[in-house]
Amino acid sequence: MRFEAEQTFPGASPRDVGALLVDPAFEASVELPDLSPPEVVARERDGNVALLKLRYEYTGQLDPIARRLLGNRKLSWVQELRLDVEAGRGELTFAAEADPSRLHGRADVTLTVDGDGGTRRLFAGELVVKAPVVGGMAERRIVPGLLRRLDVEADAVRAHLSRPVP
């Protein structure tokens, strides 16, 4: 299922926003609904390109269909953000740990200067749930939570960037 999300960050440069999005300390401080705090799996930097790989576990209530698909396993996934902080372009990928071929997604991420001198962040991607009969329904149920978490992260970015510099 295709999805898009857009957030703005008034008064912040794309570089400042990008640097925060690949900062493991910042990401660990963001309280996302129904998720455990992230475990940092990898953090790398090659010139302007930064990689932040995090592991999350879903802690919320699962509907009966999801519970049946998972069995006794926990729902956890690895999320990877690879971002050229200077160019403001990158890719977000995520996949379930238990069966990455059945639940995964990716999105292009762009950070651009908006009309007011702040930053506009755009995600354009796709979530895939490969499950006979129920895959499409599962995608329609998961995407709103994914979008909500991106908005919560954006609120945390705005709050962090609006703090006075000591």
CA distances from 85 to 13, 42, 51 (A): 11, 17, 10
- pTM for this predicted structure: 0.89
Mean pLDDT of 122-142: 87
Domains, the chain, with CATH or none: 2-161 (3.30.530.20)
Position 58 scores a pLDDT of 87
Mean pLDDT check: name the lowest of 45-54, 114-123, 128-137: 128-137
Q: Look over the chain and give the mean of its residue pLDDT values, rounded to a whole number.
A: 90
